[in-house]
């Protein structure tokens, strides 16, 4: 029952504050038709990423984990004309669908999509990015963070999705490698003096989860 209420509040806020245009609606229906998992951020989270981009005046954005491009499109639309999102997706089918969705949104010029393992693509990217969204396999989060810092400048914002996972993040005995990757990711952030960070838990249509957010203070 509580879950219903959280979802209803999410839906109401989303309708008021983060309505999806036809491009985002098409993305979700195309993803569903083509059998992609429904792991996209919520509309309100997509809008939050868009707000972060505007708050930081980001021009170059990096996303690790494209899925069908739902968050990619939210972020690309928030950028200035000369801005760009570089996004990386390992799964070829997911990347094909993302490319359709990005084309349909008229954002092809503003999005550079790499279909490969992120750990192979990251070393080839030009630094720095202004905002980096980490939303791929959580096992590799510590490695993604290391690259995110290498690709940062002073003031770069790093956001990690799925940092709560239904509360399992505090289970030190978890045998889920994703949970252990997440815990290590947060431990590294907490110990790295170049970073200042916080975490925010969310409830709503995506269940109980959250974002970790860090700013690079010095590099």
Q: Which two tokens stand for residue 58?
A: 């980001």
- 140 interacts with Mg ion by CB under 5 A: no
Q: Which stretch binds Mg ion (CB under 5 A): 4-12, 26-34, 128-136, 140-148?
A: 128-136
Sheet with 195-202, edge to edge strand ranges: 111-115, 84-89, 60-64, 131-134, 157-160, 209-216, 195-202
Give me the residue whose beta carbon is nearest to ligand DHB: 39
Q: Which does 63 bind (CB under 5 to 8 A by kind): ligand DHB, Mg ion, none?
A: none
Q: Which stretch binds Mg ion (CB under 5 A): 4-12, 102-110, 133-141, 164-172?
A: 133-141
Distances (CA, A) of 44 to 7, 10, 48, 104: 12, 7, 6, 21
User: For Mg ion, which is the closer residue by CB, 20 or 135?
Assistant: 135
Q: Which stretch binds Mg ion (CB under 5 A): 53-61, 112-120, 153-161, 188-196?
A: 153-161
- 86 interacts with Mg ion by CB under 5 A: no
User: For Mg ion, which is the closer residue by CB, 20 or 209?
Assistant: 209
Residue 32 CB, nearest distance to ligand DHB (Å)? 15
Residues in the chain: 219
Distances (CA, A) of 18 to 21, 45, 119, 190: 9, 9, 33, 32
Residue labelled with tokens 């792991």: 39
Residue 162 CB, nearest distance to Mg ion (Å)? 4
Secondary structure class of 57 (helix, strand, coil)? coil
What does the buried/exposed string (b/e) look like for 116-132 if buried means 16 or more CB atoms within 10 Å of the residue's CB? eebbebbeebeebbbbb
User: For ligand DHB, which is the closer residue by CB, 130 or 209?
Assistant: 209
Show the DSSP H helices in 151-201 as ranges.
177-191
User: For ligand DHB, which is the closer residue by CB, 101 or 162?
Assistant: 162
Q: How far is the C-alpha of 189 from the C-alpha of 91, rounded, in Å?
A: 28
Residue 169 CB, nearest distance to Mg ion (Å)? 14
- 135 interacts with Mg ion by CB under 5 A: yes
Residue 165 CB, nearest distance to ligand DHB (Å)? 8
Contacts with Mg ion, residue ranges (CB under 5 A) = 135, 161-162
């Amino acid at each position: 029952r509580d879950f219903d209420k959280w979802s209803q509040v999410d839906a109401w806020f989303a309708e008021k504050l983060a309505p999806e245009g036809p491009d985002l609606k098409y993305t979700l229906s195309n993803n569903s038709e083509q059998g992609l998992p429904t792991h996209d951020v919520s509309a309100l989270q997509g809008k939050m990423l868009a707000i972060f981009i505007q708050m930081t005046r980001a021009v170059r954005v990096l996303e690790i984990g494209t899925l069908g491009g739902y968050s990619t499109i939210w972020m690309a639309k928030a950028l200035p004309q000369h801005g760009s999102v570089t996004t990386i997706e390992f799964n070829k089918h997911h990347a094909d669908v993302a490319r359709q969705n990005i084309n349909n949104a008229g954002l092809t010029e503003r999005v550079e999509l790499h279909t490969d393992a992120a750990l192979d693509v990251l070393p080839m990217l030009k630094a720095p990015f202004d905002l980096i969204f980490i939303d791929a396999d959580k096992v590799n989060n510590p490695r993604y963070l290391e690259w995110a810092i290498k690709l940062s400048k002073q003031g770069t914002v790093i956001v990690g999705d799925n940092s709560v996972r239904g509360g399992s993040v505090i289970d030190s005995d978890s045998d889920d490698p994703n949970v252990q990757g997440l815990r290590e990711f947060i431990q590294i952030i907490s110990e790295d003096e170049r970073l200042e960070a916080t975490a925010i838990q969310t409830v709503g249509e995506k269940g109980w989860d959250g974002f970790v957010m860090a700013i690079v203070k010095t590099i």
